[in-house]
Each structure stands twice: as C-alpha cells, then as structure tokens.
C-alpha cells in the first residue's frame, strides 16, 4: 500500500543531532512550523483611516507569536498599486503603498518579528505587473521601446468571421479574452488577469534578472522568503497555440464560467517554468543558512504528479532544487467526507518525491471562509484538528482561528473584480477586518467610524472577536491555541510519519497514526458523520484534546468514542 512507503521511509532532508537519550532529527523551521497568512488591509488599522497597515501588524505581533503561537507570517501584497486587484497589481515592487505605511514601518515590523522568532514571508507577484508600473508605461509607449519585449505583445489575427481579433482563444481569469487591444501601438497585450495586470514576458532574460533584483531587495532587508503568486503560469507556450475545449466542462478552478470550458494547456504549467524556479531557488539559497529562506508557490496544477514536480530534482544533500513548498490546494476542493479527505491525503503521501515535504491549506484570501464553505462550526473545528495534525506544514488564514464566517456582500457592492465579473465569486467576504473586541462598532480593528472601514466587519464576526473568545476555554480560538501548542511540543505531530488507520475504523471516520522520530505516537480521528462512532486504537490511549474542548483527563483504553462531527487527538502507548 502506498502509505507503507512513507511510514517506513522518513525520507526528509535532515541533519541529525545526537541527544543524550535519543536521536532527534533537526528539520528546517518551514517543515516543523505553522505559517499564518495575513491580509494587511484587514488585520489591524494603526492610524485610524479604515485600512489595515504594516504598523497594525507590528502591534499585533504578540498575538501572532504569543497568543496563537505561529512561526511565520505570510503578508499579502502591500506594495504601491492602483488596487484594481487589491495589491496583486504591483506598480513598484520595492516600496510600500502609502495605505500600508513606509519602508521604515516594514523594517520595524521585520525586526520586531525577528526578535520574537517569527519569520516574515512576502508575496512576490512575477506573472504580471500593474499597467501603472514604469516598465509597462515604457513598454506600451512604442513598438521600439527597450521594454517592448518585457511584456507579451501580438498583432491581431483574422478570426473565423474574417475580422481581425485577438491572437488566440486564451481567457482572462477575471472573464473575457486574455488579450487587450492597445490603440497607441495597435497591438494586443496579454493579461491572464485584469487588463490592468499585463503579463510579463519571462522568456526575456532581462525580465528574469529584473524580477530577481526585486526579490534581492527584500532578501537584503531580511525577508525570510516569498509566496509566489500565479507561480504556475509565468511561462507561456512560445507558439501561443489555442487552448482545446474542456470535454468534461468541469473546472478545476470552479470559476463556473467560460474559463472552465477550456483546458488551460498552453498558458499554465509550461515545462520551461522549472528552470525559473531552479534559478530562484539558487537565489534564495544564496541568502540562506540551512535552507531557511523559502519559496511557497501558488501552484494551481491539478495533475498531482505534475504538481509535485515543482519541488524540483533531488540534490546531493537530500533536498530538492525548486520550491520548498508548492502550495497544495487540494483540501480546499475536497468533498468534506472521510473518504474524500483521506483520498487527498493518501494520494499526496503517495506522490511526494523523496526529500519533498507536504503542506496543506484550508483557507486563503481567494476562497470563501472555511466555516461557511464547510457548513458550520463543528466542521470548522474538525478542519482545525485536521490541518494541525496532518504531516506537513499547515497554512492558516487570519481569522479562521476565530471561526469567522464569510461576510455577505452583494455583487454590486463588491470591490473585488471577480465579484463584479463573475456572479457569486466575489472575494470581499473573506477579506473583512479582523475582529479584536466585540464592544466597539469596528470590532477594535480601527478607530475610524464603521462606515469608513474599507470593508464591513460583519455582525456575526464582530461577536467572535479575539476578546470574546480569549477567556473561553472551549472557544474556537482556544481550540487553535491548544492545537498549535500540541503540535509544537509533540514531535509525532510536527515531524512524525503518517499512516491511515483501517482496521475496524467505521465508515465516515478518518483516523491516522503519527509516529515521531523518538517513537512517540498520536492518533487523530475525525468523525464526519452526524452519528456517534467508536474507533479502535492501535494501543491504549489518553485523550489529548477533543474538537469541542469539553473532555478532559480521559483515558480511552483501546477504543475512542466520538460524538457526531467530533474530532479528537489521542496519545497512545
Ligand atoms: C492569485 C492571488 O491569490 C489572487 O488574489 C490574485 O487575484 C491573482 N493571483 C492574480 O494576481
Ligand atoms: Ca491604516
């Protein structure tokens, strides 16, 4: 069985440190730690203008590293930008948008984070710039511009109707053709997202060098790595062939629109992309000791083998040569059943090449809030147990630790272009302000008046503030804190192997054994049904935690009883 290979074979790159009684494997922080994603616009507003900022994040560092106990913060973009795609349209990669503060604020945030042992990961947006970036202004000014070939310009092509039209049938993720006609020079330019986000031409070596230079800017300031936006699409088919139709009509992206009617063969996942990430890894390694500056790639590649190829080729030291963690989005699209979730975990374990470390995500700024998506608070609690007990680095989205719900914002009020162009897909509702206190109208997010907030807090979410939950021993926040603490102090959880349990485990329950380098053993079991279930354990156990946090000091014997939709973690002999 596939799992055996992984159970028997702890094949991770590691240095070995001898300890008096045991052998402890040393692993890099990004394998044992937990990454917390912050949407800077919505975390904390330090200057009262209704928009979150870098100084706001700095003021909440104690919450991140102390109260919660995460290891790294990934910050969505805070660079100068016309904000057509809320910062993913970058007008200058080496500065800070005035909404978020200044470079000095960044330096202070970074240094205070580092004092607490917290890493800071920045968002790197290499696929496209804003149309307001100087490079694009220059490029679009003339066909003879030095920067013309920094973007992707094409002549019109005669369509089936005999009329001149776009060079091929590629579509924008935000709706419509991916080609925009530019009057000044009478050519089309490519934009896989908004027309205001022209795609860079990564086949031009000058572009690669210029973009790497932008990354160096932040590495030299001390940034601990990058989440790479649209990492799967930076290289396009050099022949710009038409995409074929998608016969199943089912979209991996679940855009539910014309976008899913094509197979995105020629603008996503081009094999030449590998050489860019190999070079990027060399860049990061040049700034690292012990591989500690990292690349997390937004890899929307749904063939699992192909996805895993972005870890790169093996190197002599046992590591691989591309991304530390190509982000694994599979759980976001999972059927929320024991079989559905297990299939995703087992197939990931089976596909991971030697030296590659797994990772999981259950929420981010592009997806409806976890609790809303999964259908309720019990499911949100199960999800927390799952995410923080699986083998692999968890990525946690701010506010999910409070059980925040999607805030309902009607399409006509959505600021997100997706919400405006594709009904039902607006992302504003998962990007709303973090509620810190329940008493204030702005949930302690800002001193501005509620109508000045860039997005509403949402009444239900206001009641779920940090303050409202912090002293409640059974709150969702308490659950996350307990799980994060447990994961940190339990080698089986942060470094151990994974083996799914089968014998006698009832249908509707997903249970797995984690075994640490020192042979400590933990079972996590999740009941996905609305009935009580009993799970046989491999040995006698002691309950460490229930997702409801209302069971204490229980020994389980060799049988664990789970209530409907309950998840539990048990230490076993
Ligand atoms: C992926 C980002 O996560 C999303 O928010 C953005 O709209 C697109 N990339 C385009 O940059
Ligand atoms: Ca502000």
What is the CA(426)–ligand 1 centre distance, in A?
13
Q: Could you tell me which residues are beta bridge partners of residue 499?
A: 513
Residue 23 clears pLDDT 90, i.e. is over it: no
For 494-547, the pLDDT digits (tens) are: 999 999 999 999 999 999 999 999 999 999 999 999 999 999 999 999 999 999
Residue 514 lies inside a defined structural domain of this protein: yes
Mutate to test the pocket of ligand 1, among 88, 234, 301 (most ligand atoms within 8 A of CB): 88
When divided into structural domains, the chain yields a total of 2
> What does the longest C-alpha to C-alpha distance in the chain come to?
79
pLDDT of residue 247: 84
pLDDT of residue 557: 93
pLDDT of residue 20: 34
Ligand nearest, relative to CA of residue 46:
2
Residue 558 lies inside a defined structural domain of this protein: yes
Lowest mean pLDDT among 18-27, 33-42, 477-486, 522-531: 18-27
- In this structure, how many other beta carbons lie within 10 angstroms of the beta carbon of residue 7? 17
Of the two residues 160 and 210, the one the predictor is more confident about is 210
Ligand nearest, relative to CA of residue 193:
1
Residue found by looking up tokens 């390694």 in the block: 285
Residue 141 lies inside a defined structural domain of this protein: no
For 440-463, the pLDDT digits (tens) are: 999 999 999 999 999 999 999 999
What is the CA(111)–ligand 2 centre distance, in A?
20
What is the CA(328)–ligand 2 centre distance, in A?
32
pLDDT of residue 252: 56
Read off the pLDDT of each residue in 392-414 and give the average, rounded to a whole number.
96
**CA separation for the pair 351, 308 (Å, rounded):** 7
Q: Which residues contact 489 (CB under 8 A, 6 or more apart)?
A: none
What's 486's DSSP letter?
H
pLDDT of residue 250: 67
Tell whether 334 and 430 lie within a shared domain.
Answer: yes
Tell whether 508 and 419 lie within a shared domain.
Answer: no
CA angle 469, 428, 323 (to 5 degrees): 85
297, 365, 305, 360: which is closest to 333 by C-alpha? 360
196, 229, 174: which is closest to 84 by C-alpha? 196
Residue 184 lies inside a defined structural domain of this protein: no
Of the two residues 475 and 259, the one the predictor is more confident about is 475
Residue 245 clears pLDDT 70, i.e. is over it: yes
Residue 157 lies inside a defined structural domain of this protein: no
Residue nearest to atom 11 of ligand 1 (CA): 88
Average pLDDT, the chain: 93
Tell whether 35 and 90 lie within a shared domain.
Answer: yes
What is the CA(98)–ligand 2 centre distance, in A?
9
Tell whether 378 and 506 lie within a shared domain.
Answer: no
Tell whether 422 and 321 lie within a shared domain.
Answer: yes
CB 359 within 8 A of CB 451: no
CB 512 within 8 A of CB 346: no
Residue 479 lies inside a defined structural domain of this protein: no
Read off the pLDDT of each residue in 393-410 and give the average, rounded to a whole number.
97
pLDDT of residue 2: 30
pLDDT of residue 527: 98
Tell whether 100 and 248 lie within a shared domain.
Answer: yes
Ligand nearest, relative to CA of residue 428:
1
For 35-75, the pLDDT digits (tens) are: 999 999 999 999 999 999 999 999 999 999 999 999 999 99
Where residue 175 falls (left for φ over 0; alpha for ψ -120 to 50; beta otherwise) is left
**CA separation for the pair 143, 153 (Å, rounded):** 9
Quote the domain boundaries for residue 433.
Answer: 16-130+203-469
445 HSE (CA, 13 A, CB side): 32
Tell whether 460 and 506 lie within a shared domain.
Answer: no
Tell whether 210 and 295 lie within a shared domain.
Answer: yes
CB 370 within 8 A of CB 476: no
Tell whether 217 and 303 lie within a shared domain.
Answer: yes
**CA separation for the pair 152, 499 (Å, rounded):** 47
**C-alpha distances in Å from residue 125, one per residue of 197, 200, 209, 292, 465:** 11, 10, 14, 21, 32
Please report the atom of ligand 1 found closest to the CA of residue 89: 11
325, 276, 320: which is closest to 296 by C-alpha? 325
Residue 9 clears pLDDT 50, i.e. is over it: no
Q: Which residues of 487-521 are buried (b: 16+ CB within 10 A; e: fewer)?
A: bbebbbbbbbbbbbbeeebeebbbbbbbbbbeebb
Compute the 3-state secondary structure of the chain and give helix, strand, coil in percent, each to the nearest 5: 30, 20, 50
Residue 171 lies inside a defined structural domain of this protein: no
Tell whether 208 and 344 lie within a shared domain.
Answer: yes
Q: What are φ and ψ of residue 65, in 5° steps?
A: -90, -30
Domain boundary pick from 469, 488, 523: 469
- In this structure, how many other beta carbons lie within 10 angstroms of the beta carbon of residue 351? 17
- Domain CATH for 526: 2.60.40.1180
Does the active-site annotation cover 412? no
Confidence of residue 253 (pLDDT cuts 50, 70, 90): low
Does the active-site annotation cover 298? yes
Residue found by looking up tokens 């204030």 in the block: 440
Domain boundary pick from 453, 469, 485: 469
For 101-148, the pLDDT digits (tens) are: 999 999 999 999 999 999 999 999 999 999 999 999 999 999 999 999
Tell whether 501 and 465 lie within a shared domain.
Answer: no
- Domain CATH for 341: 3.20.20.80
CB 105 within 8 A of CB 53: yes
Residue 185 lies inside a defined structural domain of this protein: no
Domain boundary pick from 469, 487, 513: 469
Q: What is the DSSP string of 323-364?
A: -SEE---GGGG--SSHHHHHHHHHHHHHHPPTT---EEES--
**CA separation for the pair 128, 139 (Å, rounded):** 13
Tell whether 338 and 381 lie within a shared domain.
Answer: yes
Residue 192 clears pLDDT 80, i.e. is over it: yes
Residue 216 clears pLDDT 60, i.e. is over it: yes
Residue 407 clears pLDDT 50, i.e. is over it: yes
Q: Which residues contact 56 (CB under 8 A, 6 or more apart)?
A: 40, 43, 44, 45, 46
For residue 17, give the H/E element and its range.
Answer: strand 15-18
């Amino acid at each position: 069985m596939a799992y055996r290979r992984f159970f028997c074979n702890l094949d991770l790159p590691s240095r070995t440190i001898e300890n008096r009684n045991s052998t402890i494997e040393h692993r890099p922080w990004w394998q044992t730690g937990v990454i917390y994603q912050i949407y800077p616009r919505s975390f904390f507003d330090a200057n009262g203008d209704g928009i979150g900022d870098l100084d706001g994040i700095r003021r909440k560092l104690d919450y991140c590293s102390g109260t919660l106990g995460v290891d790294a913060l990934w910050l969505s973009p805070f660079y100068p930008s016309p904000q057509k795609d809320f910062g993913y349209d970058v007008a200058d990669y080496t500065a800070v948008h005035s909404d978020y503060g200044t470079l000095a604020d960044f330096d202070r945030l970074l240094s205070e984070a580092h004092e607490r042992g917290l890493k800071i990961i920045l968002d790197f947006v290499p696929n496209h710039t804003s149309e307001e970036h100087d490079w694009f202004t220059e490029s679009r000014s003339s066909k003879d511009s030095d920067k013309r070939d920094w973007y992707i310009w094409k002549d019109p092509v005669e369509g089936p109707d005999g009329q001149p039209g776009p060079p091929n049938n590629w579509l924008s993720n935000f709706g419509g053709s991916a080609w925009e006609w530019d009057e000044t020079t009478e050519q089309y330019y490519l934009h896989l997202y908004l027309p205001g986000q022209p795609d860079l031409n990564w086949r031009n070596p000058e572009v690669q060098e210029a973009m790497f230079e932008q990354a160096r800017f932040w590495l030299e300031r001390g940034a601990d790595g990058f989440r790479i936006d649209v990492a799967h699409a930076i290289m396009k088919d050099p022949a710009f062939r038409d995409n074929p139709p998608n016969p199943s009509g089912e979209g991996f992206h679940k855009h539910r629109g014309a976008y899913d009617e094509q197979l995105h063969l020629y603008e996503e996942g081009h094999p030449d992309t590998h050489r860019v990430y190999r070079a990027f890894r060399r860049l990061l390694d040049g700034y690292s000791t012990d591989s500690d500056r990292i690349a997390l790639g937004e890899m929307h590649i749904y063939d699992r083998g192909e996805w895993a190829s972005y870890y790169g080729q093996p190197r002599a030291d046992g590591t691989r040569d591309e991304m530390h963690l190509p982000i694994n989005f599979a759980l976001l699209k999972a059927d929320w059943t024991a079989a559905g979730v297990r299939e995703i975990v087992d197939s990931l374990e089976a596909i991971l090449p030697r030296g590659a470390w797994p990772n999981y995500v259950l929420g981010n700024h592009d997806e409806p809030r976890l609790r809303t998506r999964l259908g309720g608070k019990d499911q949100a609690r199960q999800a927390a147990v799952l995410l923080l007990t699986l083998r692999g680095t968890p990525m946690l989205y701010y506010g999910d630790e409070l059980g925040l719900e999607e805030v309902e914002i009607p399409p006509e009020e959505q600021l997100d272009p997706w919400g405006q162009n594709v009904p039902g897909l607006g992302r504003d509702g998962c990007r709303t302000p973090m509620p810190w206190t329940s008493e204030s109208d702005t949930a302690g997010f800002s001193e501005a008046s509620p109508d000045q907030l860039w997005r509403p807090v949402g009444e239900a979410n206001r009641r779920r503030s940090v303050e409202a939950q912090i002293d409640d021993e059974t709150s969702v926040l308490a659950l996350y804190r307990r799980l994060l603490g447990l994961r940190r102090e339990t080698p089986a959880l942060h470094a151990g192997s994974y083996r799914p349990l089968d014998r006698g485990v009832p249908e509707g329950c997903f249970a797995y054994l984690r075994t640490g380098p020192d042979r400590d053993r933990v079972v996590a079991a999740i009941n996905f049904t609305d009935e009580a279930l009993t799970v046989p354990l491999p040995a006698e156990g002691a309950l460490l935690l229930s997702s409801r946090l209302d069971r204490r000091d229980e020994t389980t014997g060799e049988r664990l009883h789970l209530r409907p939709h309950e998840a539990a973690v048990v230490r076993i002999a």
